Amino acid sequence: METALVTGAGRGIGLALVQQLIESGYRVIATCRGEPSPALRALESSSQCQIEQLEVTSQRSIEDLAQALSGVTIDLLINNAGILGPNNQSLHQLDPTDWLQTLAINTVAPSMISLALLDNLKRSANPRIITVSSDMASFHDGGSSLLAYRSSKAAANKAMQGLALELRSDGVIVCPVLPGWVQTDMGGASASETPEESASGIIKLAQRLTLKDSGHFFTWRGDEYPW
């Protein structure tokens, strides 16, 4: 049985990923900051699900998690936790502290978590890291609103490309993935995909990735996405 670790698992795409991974036969380590949501607690009754605390911006929290998981094999790490950032994100209005906080969660945390769990990933015969990104990360995206979010996801993609190159010789596959426009607190009710559709697509993609895909940007449908 493969083991997957999902960050930001209390709601939205993260919660759906935990549900779908359990249904697909994975053992799942579901992380959340603070108290687990009732929906996540309900999944814990499955013997396949273990909940751990992780505040992704805290290096201490990341190290505590790595210590708690010492000796555990992780086959699939999904860096899902993320924020949209502050309300005012035009360049003229953006508060630098808010911008840095958005970068801390969306950009720096996925790299720090991946590095902290590297020993766990290297125990796997087929280690994969997926970081949930956005179409707004792409240079093909022309928008200038949500600048903190756009820049944080673009930088996350670049960090994942670097990680992919660094970890290639260890056989670790690293890919940023676009989850679609998803009906969550972040995506809103009029979004086009359900969390279940997005999660199931991401898992199918994760199952077929090979080392030659590492460093490439994919959609939840499995197509490569232009940077």
| Site of interaction with ligand NDP (CB under 6 A) | 8, 10-14, 32-34, 54-57, 80-83, 105, 132, 134, 179, 181-182, 184-187, 191
Is the backbone of residue 25 left (phi > 0), alpha (psi -120 to 50) or beta? left
Q: How far is the CB of 71 from ligand NDP (least distance, A)?
A: 24
**Which lies closer to ligand NDP via its Cβ, residue 100 or residue 170?**
100
Q: How far is the CB of 171 from ligand NDP (least distance, A)?
A: 26
Tell how far CA 208 is from the center of its chain: 17
**Which lies closer to ligand NDP via its Cβ, residue 191 or residue 211?**
191
**Which lies closer to ligand NDP via its Cβ, residue 137 or residue 164?**
137
Q: How far is the CB of 209 from ligand NDP (least distance, A)?
A: 18
Beta bridge partners, 76, equal 4, 128
Q: Are strands 49-53 and 76-79 parallel, antiparallel or unpaired?
A: unpaired
Q: How far is the CB of 125 from ligand NDP (least distance, A)?
A: 28
CA distance 151 to 84: 11
Buried b (16+ CB within 10 A) or exposed e, 28-58: bbbbbbeebeeebeebeeeebbbbbebbbbb
Tell how far CA 196 is from the center of its chain: 15
Place of tokens 């720090």: 112
Q: How far is the CB of 2 from ligand NDP (least distance, A)?
A: 22
**Which lies closer to ligand NDP via its Cβ, residue 63 or residue 170?**
63
**Which lies closer to ligand NDP via its Cβ, residue 110 or residue 215?**
110
